[in-house]
Chain A
Amino acid sequence: MSNAHSSVLRHHFASLAQQKDASSLGMWTFLVQEIMFFGGLFLVYTVYRHQYYDVFAACSHHLDWKLGAANTAVLIFSSLTMAMAVHAAALGQRKATALWLVLTILLGGVFLGVKTVEYKEKFEAHLVPGPHFLAPTEAAHELKIDASQAGQAQLYFSLYFAMTGLHALHMVIGIPILAALAWKAWAGAYGASYHTPVEMTGLYWHFVDIVWIFLFPLLYLIGHH
């Protein structure tokens, strides 16, 4: 078991299987911590949405749900390509692994590009919390808010930027890791018996996808009926 790839087996593990189990458990411990980390933000969001539902619904209409939905599809697609990278690595397919990883990076780039366009629109519309914030009182539909609710509107957009910003930061961190993996995969560092880094990074990337799966309906689709 360990003779073929003894260079990747650390001396404190009895076997590659044991080493991989330890890696998986460690990665999941990190992800459970991430669930609690994002969980705090989701809790704050839930409490304030409960309190200021009308303002949150009105502000939600200032996000472009079509861009949000398109980005959801892009991110789900990148999860598929990531899963395929792990699959190719497990089969010892050197080039396929690298190519699936590159495709995942490209899709991550598309997501961040769309996010940049959305952020730019928010800056231009003075919807970024702070001294230049202007409450969106000139709504084109029946959900109107008045100037006295500006603070509540800022709260919505603070949560929007905190949650999507933290999510985007996770992707910004993930992309160079994927790039390093693609480079090493191309060089033949991973094979059927050892591809743990690809698998662990896959777990991270899928986790980021899950966070967005919750963010999209909660931020973009409040009170759309």
Chain B
Amino acid sequence: MSDHVVSPKLYSAVFAALLLLTLTTVWAAGQDFGAYNTVVAVGIAITKATLVILFFMHVRWAGKLVQLFVASGFIWLVILIAITLADYVSRGWSLTQ
């Protein structure tokens, strides 16, 4: 079987890291990083999501095909958001009028 049995120690370490990053995101929200507050918040969330995906969801030990599927999902999400925002940022569309 392709099952990878992960040690509870590793799960606990990932759990501790996730809790620490949650505290970090609360702390970071209280700091003034100017325009970078959002970048920091999303960056921490992406880091947490990556930990969950790689270790809790076993993608680190999954086959290449599953890894490709997972990556494709996020790549399409980035395309969806990046191209839409490119329009909103560059064309001067304003929803307030």
Which residues of A pack against B, CB within 8 Å? 1, 16-17, 20-21, 24-25, 28-29, 31-32, 35-36, 39-40, 42-43, 46-48, 50-52, 65, 69, 72-73, 76-77, 79-80, 82-84, 87, 90-91, 193, 199, 202-203, 206-207, 209-210, 213-214, 216-218, 221, 223-225
Contacts and interface: CB of A to CB of B under 8 A. Distances in A.
Contacts of B42: 214, 217-218
Contacts of A39: 76-77, 80-81
A76 B11 contact: no
Q: Most A CB atoms within 10 A — which of B29, B42, B56?
A: B56
Contacts of B72: 32
Interface of B: 1-3, 5-6, 8, 11-12, 14-15, 18-19, 22, 25-26, 29-33, 37, 41-42, 44-45, 48-49, 52-53, 55-58, 62-63, 65-66, 69-70, 72-74, 76-77, 80-81, 84-85, 88-89, 94-96
21 contacts: A28-B69, A28-B70, A28-B73, A31-B73, A36-B73, A39-B81, A46-B85, A47-B84, A65-B29, A73-B22, A79-B56, A80-B14, A80-B56, A83-B6, A83-B56, A202-B56, A206-B52, A209-B52, A214-B49, A217-B29, A218-B45
Nearest to A27: B66
Given A35-B77, A80-B12, A90 B56 contact: no
B29 A224 contact: yes
B29 A225 contact: yes
Contacts of A42: 77, 81
A205 B73 CA distance: 17
